[in-house]
Structure 1
Amino acid sequence: MQKFDVLIVGAGMVGLTLALALRKKSQLKIAIVDTNIVTALDDSIDARVSAINVASKNIFDNLGVWSTLKNSRVQNYQHMHVWDKSGLGKLDFSAQDSAIFPHEDNLGWIIENKVIRHALWQQAELDEGIHFFTDNKLASISHGDSEVFATFAHNSSSQESAGQVTPPIIAKLVVGADGANSWVRQQMDIAMIFKDYDHHAIVATVACPQGHKNTAWQVFLPTGPLAFLPLYSKDLHNKNASKDDNNNDLCSIVYSTSPDDAKRLINLETSEFAKALTAASDGKLGDISLKSERFTYPLTMRLAQDFVKDRVVIIGDAAHTIHPLAGQGVNLGLLDAAALAQTLTAKLHDDKADFVNQSDLKAFSRWRKSEATEMIAAMAGIKQAFAVQPAPIQLLRGVGMNMINHFSPIKNRLIAQALGIKADLPELAYQKDSL
């Protein structure tokens, strides 16, 4: 039997961030269970990337991880260019144009998921209060009035005979940070609201000979949005490129389209797929070429009816998933982690007794569910606004976009959303010198 204060199921970006945030603010003893261990980084580029906003960057900085990340494969971007394929509307954002946040040089950073996870994992391994369990998955969790009991599954009888059986874990709180198909959520029978977006996302790495110009590009097509996210490629593709080099030419694409269209695009020959991307992007990035495999997955909105049940909390994709058109899914999960750490440690006494307060956890659930609901509604609104519309509506949409593009107050609010700077952020999401 092994005793811990908090058991985190899932050592992805969100689960690892929670572990580090808890340890920064307390002496709580943390267990993390995940059989998907981190390996050394190689030169292959992960097609799965995240758009990290300023709030998330602040979280990483306050946890001592950003210094590692910024010296790794991180691409900053200062501009966003959005346009409507079916009309004349366009939006151009620049961090330097914001009167509200003139000190921000970047709108965000594009980082491969495996690079973020590697940096977080390395930082967690340095903390003697964080213990990893990577040999076996959990088999069950049961809870009492003051503790949760978790048992491990064992892959073979040979493990038992060799004395490799992992003893059960007793913890005061279990956190499910184990993704959209959360095992923890299923074990606790937490109800979910689902909505099929009727979109599949295609992700891949491409080269754009015009250079990405430190810009995130997004075009709204009749079938859905296509985003080109700038990637850092020094020593990987373009030997002479740097993070601030406008001629850096690698991008990660996220192409959200109907299931039938996604199937068609995935089955195209490589050269034909590249031509389709060039045409869809109006040639703004040059004649695009494909540099990786193509991956596709269905897009579904999920929202847990409650993020807390007894002594179990779910965060990140285990609690909510949203459309990737604004790239806010990971940022929302990182804020969950920072907010939960703040909630658990705010009233913590030296003896660590009773740090699991149901009233505080319910307040956390309302806090984070409210923001997730707001983000889900915003994504639904944007998706609907750019759906196929009659010509007069398309014309009005274009006029509206162009008006916003020249109206600073609204534009500044949109920039603030992109930066992730808003009211009621967890403490870790603010700049270091403001804590």
Structure 2
Amino acid sequence: MNKIVITGYGIAVPGSHNGKQFEKQLRKGIHGIKSFNDEHLPQNKTLSLGYLDPIVFDREEKSYKKYPRVSKVQINTTDEAIKMSGIDLSKKKTGVFIGTSLGGTEGYEANIPISNKGDYKSFPNSAIGETNFQSTAAAINGHLKLTGIAKTIATGCTASMEALETACIYIKSGIIDTAIVGGVDIANTPGLLYAFSKIRSLPLGHELEQSGLPFSKNSKGFVAAEGSASLVIEREEDAVKRGGVILAEIDDVQSNNDGLGVFGSDPTGKHMLKLSKEIVANKNPDYVNSQALGLRPSDELEANNHRLLFDNQIPITSIKGMVGHAFGASGLIQVIASLIGMQGNFIPYTARTDYVGHETLNIMDRFQERKVSEVLITCHGYGGNNSVAYIKKHSVKGD
């Protein structure tokens, strides 16, 4: 089977609005998280959140004026990925696969009060586009003048990883040649913040020093963040033939579900562990890029699985202390962080942690130059979906 490779990426996270900025952020451990206190937050309490720089979605074209912000953000990161790849999509059968957990909640929250008041005259004619999960995939196809597959994967916090999984299946089947894979969520609106605060997942009423600390029992909850990530993936032989620069190989990506219903996920992590064992098999990753996000059950799951799978012999890390948790976009953001570290010979380290409760875990907690050839990436979410990916430095026959 021909390899599937990554030839371009684009990224926007709190603290960075392109790949070069993100690499600097990863090297220096800079965070883009801020504390807020205003009337829109639950009980008017302090809450730490991650927002994107306005430059990420400030498009001037008239045709995009009514596009939801979630779609404009994804267009920008997709443009960055395509430019890096150098690919001519007009000569390819291209599929677009977008992963999102919430589809961008701004449209819902802005328009529902208008309809509840019965104010038909003020209700915007753009409302359907603002609230349709498929809008972003459609926006990418329209932006790039593509008429092939456009699919939205909405499986919670694993959505972008499962978009990657789906795209790989389509390429392997021969239905498409290449794929634009994206992940995006713009969801820091009152309804979502109320919902996660109600189940005590957000650090409501706590300062930044106790918010979103990976692998720390002192963390009072995760930092909800905006984010967007995009990849260009294609068959190895096609990338080589057109002279494209291959950034990494996608060795495998798989998903499953805990089977426990709507609320929460399996705290034992046994189903994610099963996936990890299947994907790793006899391979030797240089480290694990985990989803640890400063939420105790999630972090303990990641730590326990790491010990069971690797006997704590290799490092584990999390970038969530820098960028927060961007829901459905988070998995692909982790992939790109791993890709950047692989290219730059370093492991993106775990910033903003004090290790409390995880003192014996092999956490990469400071910048170190280190050759990285293979990475395991883990992701799981509310509702029980798990997704695991394995990426490798590209090698050609005879290497």
Give the TM-score normalised by structure 1. Answer: 0.28
**Structure with greater strand share of residues:** 1
For the pair shown, the structure with the greater C-alpha radius of gyration is 1
What's the TM-score once normalised by structure 2's chain length? 0.30
